[in-house]
Structure 1
Amino acid sequence: MPSALPDGEPMPEDGALPGHTAAGAAGRPLGFYLHVPYCATRCGYCDFNTYTASELRGSGGALASRDNYADTVVDEIRLARKVLGDDPRPVETVFVGGGTPTLLPAADLGRMLAAIREEFGLAPGAEITTEANPESVDPRYLDELRAGGFNRVSFGMQSARQHVLKILDRTHTPGRPEACVAEARAAGFDHVNLDLIYGTPGETDDDWRASLDAAIGAGPDHVSAYALIVEEGTQLARRIRRGEVPMTDDDVHADRYLITEERLAAAGFTWYEVSNWATTDAARCRHNELYWTGADWWGAGPGAHSHVGGVRWWNVKHPGAYAQALSEGRSPGAGRELLSAEDRRVERILLELRLADGCPLEILAPAGARAAARALADGLLEAAPYEAGRAVLTLRGRLLADAVVRDLVD
C-alpha cells in the first residue's frame, strides 16, 4: 500500500501560511512539484503514493478519475497563487512525477504547466521535467511534450536485464529506454535522465555492468543510480519474507556503487549528489538541487509535500479526497510542521553532506565538529575542502554516507 503520511498540526482550510515564511523569500528559488498518482500496474518494490485503476475502482468515484485530474491540479496551482499572495518570484523548476505522469495525455501535462506559467510566470531558462515510463511514450507524445514547454525528461530504465526487470515487476522491455533517449533527443529535449536501480535480488555484478553500459550507450546527459530499498508492505518485501527471493546485503550494494562510479566516471559523468551523475553542470537536475539546498517548492497532487520558508506540509493521499477538498474550496493539506532553527540546521547537514559541494563545517555542533575531524582522519572526508571549511565526502565516505551523516548531526 502507499506510504503513510507523517504526523503534524492541522492545516488551515484556506492553506494560509505564517507571515514569517515570506522573510528572505527573494533569495530562495521557487519550484513546483506536480504529482500524478496513476500507474498501469504496481511495481513490486514501490511504496509511493500511487494507484492502479483496480485500486481506485469504487473508491472515490469520478473524483479519483484521471480524466479530469489536470483540472484538479490546476485548481491547486491557483490556490498556491492565493496563498503566496504577491510573492513576485517566477518559478525556476517544475518536476512532474508519480506514478506515471505520461499515462495522462501530453496536453494535460501541458495544461498544468501552462497554469504555473499564467499564475506565477517561469524564470528564463526554467527547467521543466517530467518522469516517463518507457512504454507510455512514443515520438509523437514526446514531440507534444516538447511543444508544451517541457525541456527535460527522466525515463525509468532500472535495468537492462529482463530477469532483473521481472523481479522488480517492471513492464517495459530491455532496449526500450535506450530508444526513448534517442526519441527525446529527436524531439528537441535539452536534457535526458535515465533512472537505474542496483542490488535487485538475483542481479549479478555483470548484470549491473551491462545495465550501466546500456544506459551510457544511449547517450543521456544524466544518470540516477539508487540502491534498492525493500520497503515494508510492498510485494517484494513479502516475497523476500517468504523466501522466494534473497535479500541483497550491504556489501553487494557497496560493490555495485563502486562499479557505478568507475563506469560513469570513465564515460565522462561526474557525481554531484551521492546517487546522481551528470556530464556537465547544466545537466544537473536543478529541481532536486532545490530540495537538497532547502529552497521553496509547492507540491501539488495527492500526498505531495511542500516547503516554503521553514513550513513543510503534505496533502491528503487519496485522489478522491484530494479532488473533493479542492472542489469545496478547501486546501487539500492534511497536516504541516513548522521547522525550528535547529530542525533546519540538522536538515542542512542531512541533505548538503550528500552533495559534491558538501556542507559548511560552521553549522556543525561541537560534537558534530569532533565527528567531522574523526571522519577526516578515517578517510571519509576530503582534506582540501575540510581545510577550506567544508565537509565533502570521499568515495569511501559516499559508501558510508548515512553513518557519516548520523555522526555529524550530533
Structure 2
Amino acid sequence: MARTVVLVPSALPDGEPAPDDGALPAEPLARMGTCDFGVYVHVPFCATRCGYCDFNTYTAAELGGVSRDDYVDVLEREFALAARVLGSARRPASTVFVGGGTPTLLPADQLARIVELVDRYIGLDGDAEVTTEANPETVDLEYLKTLRGNGFTRLSLGMQSTASHVLAVLERQHTPGRALRAAAEAREAGFDHVNLDLIYGTPGERPEDFAASLDAVVASGCDHVSAYALIVEGGTRLARQVSRGRIPAPSDDVAADRYLAADRVLSDNGFAWYEVSNWARGETARCRHNMLYWRNNNWWGFGPGAHSHVGGVRWWNAKHPARYGQRLGDGLSPAQGRELLTSRERHLEDVMLWTRLSDGLASCALDEAGRRGARKALADGLIDAASWDSGRVRLTLRGRLLADAVIRDLVS
C-alpha cells in the first residue's frame, strides 16, 4: 500500500529550468477553468526530526538565518507572484491545505494570516475546505479556537499510535494520549472535520497495539482516518538503524494484516474507504483537498520544495528555505524546475490516481494493453466484477493490498 500524494519530497526531480518570472504557457492557463483549483502551503519547520521522516523539513539548527517570525512575509511574495502569473485565468480556491513540517509551530494568528493571503491574492470559494496539519503537542483549545474563528474548517492530527514503544521507534515527541485529547479540543473549538493519522507496521508493534490504536480512533469521534504502512526511506535515521541491524525491517505480511484489521474495524464503525489509505464517515467527511490531487486537478504549492500543477505543467520550488526566500527577495520565481506533461503522461497519471479511489476509473480510459491488464486483475480477484461490468475499474479489498501492482498492469 503506497502512501498518498507527496508534495514536498526530500529529493527534487529532474526537469527543465523554470522561467525566472514563473510564466506559464497559454494553453495550460486556458485549462484552469475546467476543474477545481487548490492551494497547498508548506511550512517546513519542525521542533525535532522524526527518525522515519523523509519530508523537506528543518529544525532551528538547520535553517541558517531563516526565521519562523518572518516566514509568512516571505510566503506573501510568492502569493503576489501567483496572482501575476495566473492573471485573469485564476479561479477561487476550493481547498487550502497547510502542511509540513509542523504548521502549528507558527502562532495561530500567522496561520490565520495565510488564509487571508489566499483570499486576497487567489480568492476563496464561499464553502472552501481549509485544513492544517498539527502536531498534537503544539495546540491547545485556545489555539484551535483561533484557527476555527479565522477560516480553518478541518484539522489533521498526527497520532501514529497509542503505544508508547511504537512512538519511541518512530521518534515521535507526543505522548500516547495527547492526539486524542487534541481531537476532543478540536471538536470543542468547533471543528466538524478532524482527521487522525495512523502508521502501522512499525517494528515492535504488536497486533494488540494496533487494535488499541484503532479502538481509540473510533472512540475519539473523528470523522476521518488516514492509515499508512511504515516505509523506510533512504537517508533517514530509521534507514540507518535498519541497515545496521538495530531495528528489523518492516514486514510486508504484517503490513497487510494491519491493513485488513484497519478496514474491518473502521468499516464496522461507520467509516468507508474512499482512497486506498483513507476512510471517512460519509462523503462530506472526505478530504476534498486530497481528492483534488487524486483527480489530477490543479493546485499551486507555496513554500520551499512545494510542487504545483496547472493544466499539465508541473513545477517545484527551491528546496531550502534560505534559497527559496532569496529568490523571492530578488524578485524571481522560487521555482527550480518544471516539466510539461504530454497528453500520454497526463493520461497515465489519471489512470494511476483514479484507480486508487473507491469511485474507480472509467474502463473506457484504458488502452488495449491496460484492458488486458484489467482483465488479468479481474481474473485474479483484484478488480470488482460487478463494477467492471458497469464500466468501472474498482479495486477489491485484496486489490487494495496490491494496488501498486494492479496499477502497473493498467499502465504498462
TM range (shorter): over 0.9
* Matching residue of 1:29: 36
Q: How do 1:92-131 residues align onto structure 2 when only pairs under 5 Å count?
A: 92-131=94-133
1:189 aligns with 2:196: no
Q: Is the 8 A contact 2:28 2:312 kept in 1?
A: yes
Deviation at 1:88, TM superposition (A): 4.6
Counterparts of 1:21 and 1:338, CA distance in 2: 9
Counterparts of 1:44 and 1:151, CA distance in 2: 30
What is the root-mean-square deviation in Å for CA atoms of aligned residues? 0.9
* Matching residue of 1:263: 265
Deviation at 1:25, TM superposition (A): 2.1
Q: Relative to structure 2, which stretch is displaced further, 37-46 or 374-383?
A: 374-383
Q: How do 1:305-320 residues align onto structure 2 when only pairs under 5 Å count?
A: 305-320=307-322
Counterparts of 2:333 and 2:30, CA distance in 1: 23
Does the residue aligned with 1:23 lie in a helix, a strand or coil? helix
* Matching residue of 1:242: 244
Between the aligned residues of both structures, percent identity stands at 61
Structure 2 unaligned residues grouped into runs of 5+: 1-8
* Matching residue of 1:403: 405
CA deviations over 1:162-211 (Å, ceiling 9, x no partner): 00000000000011100011100111112000000000010011111111
CA deviations over 1:45-67 (Å, ceiling 9, x no partner): 001000001122xx3x2xx1111
Structure 1 unaligned residues grouped into runs of 5+: none
* Matching residue of 1:229: 231
* Matching residue of 1:205: 207
Counterparts of 1:151 and 1:116, CA distance in 2: 15
Deviation at 1:24, TM superposition (A): 3.2
Counterparts of 1:7 and 1:258, CA distance in 2: 37
Matched letter for residue 47 of structure 2: A
* Matching residue of 1:66: 68
Counterparts of 1:78 and 1:332, CA distance in 2: 12
Matched letter for residue 17 of structure 1: L
Deviation at 1:27, TM superposition (A): 2.1
1:43 aligns with 2:32: no
Does the residue aligned with 1:206 lie in a helix, a strand or coil? helix
The equivalent position to 1:140 in structure 2, one of 142, 147, 151, is 142
1:10 aligns with 2:17: yes
CA deviations over 1:122-176 (Å, ceiling 9, x no partner): 1121000000000000011101111111010000000000000000000000111
Q: Structure 1-normalised TM-score?
A: 0.97
Matched letter for residue 339 of structure 1: L
Does the residue aligned with 2:346 lie in a helix, a strand or coil? helix
Matched letter for residue 180 of structure 1: A
* Matching residue of 2:171: 169
Deviation at 1:368, TM superposition (A): 1.2
Counterparts of 1:269 and 1:151, CA distance in 2: 20
Counterparts of 1:150 and 1:78, CA distance in 2: 22
Counterparts of 1:96 and 1:312, CA distance in 2: 19
Does the residue aligned with 2:218 lie in a helix, a strand or coil? helix
1:55 aligns with 2:62: yes
Counterparts of 1:371 and 1:16, CA distance in 2: 39
Does the residue aligned with 2:338 lie in a helix, a strand or coil? strand
Q: Structure 2-normalised TM-score?
A: 0.97
Deviation at 1:23, TM superposition (A): 2.7
**Matched residues, number:** 404
